[in-house]
Structure 1
Amino acid sequence: GTPVDMLNPPEGCPFAPRCEYAMKICLQKMPPYVELGENHRAACWLRVQEQMAKEKSGQADAKAGSQTENKEAGDHE
């Protein structure tokens, strides 16, 4: 692809025009950084979605674990 014109940067992600996974939001808004590991981060809407799904799954797991703990505590009374 062609390099980004730094005097007139695009509104969204500068890689969107040449990214095979680009979505509409990529052309409209720059994604926030997502921590992928120690000293490794990315600014990509796909990674943002993955992180949100992970967090949602983690919250669901924590809620299920809490309900199990409450049930077990009730069983021992």
Structure 2
Amino acid sequence: MAEGISESAVDELNALLDLRGPSPEERRRIAELVELLFDVDTAWVWWERAAEAGDPDAWDYLMELVKEENAS
């Protein structure tokens, strides 16, 4: 991953984490960035938070992760 992309992702992640009560979509974006910067296991809690808050895309992705985990 290019350094500029990492720095930009970190900056965006920090800005989102500073929000009080991020929206479901913002929680999904946090999950995406955490997964990009770290790994899916680290991002799992944010995928769950986004799905529980009502983000349908996060729910769909979380279900795919569960399917993959069960298939392993």
Taking structure 2 as the reference length, what is the TM-score of the superposition? 0.27
Say which structure is richer in helix. Answer: 2
Say which structure is richer in strand. Answer: 1
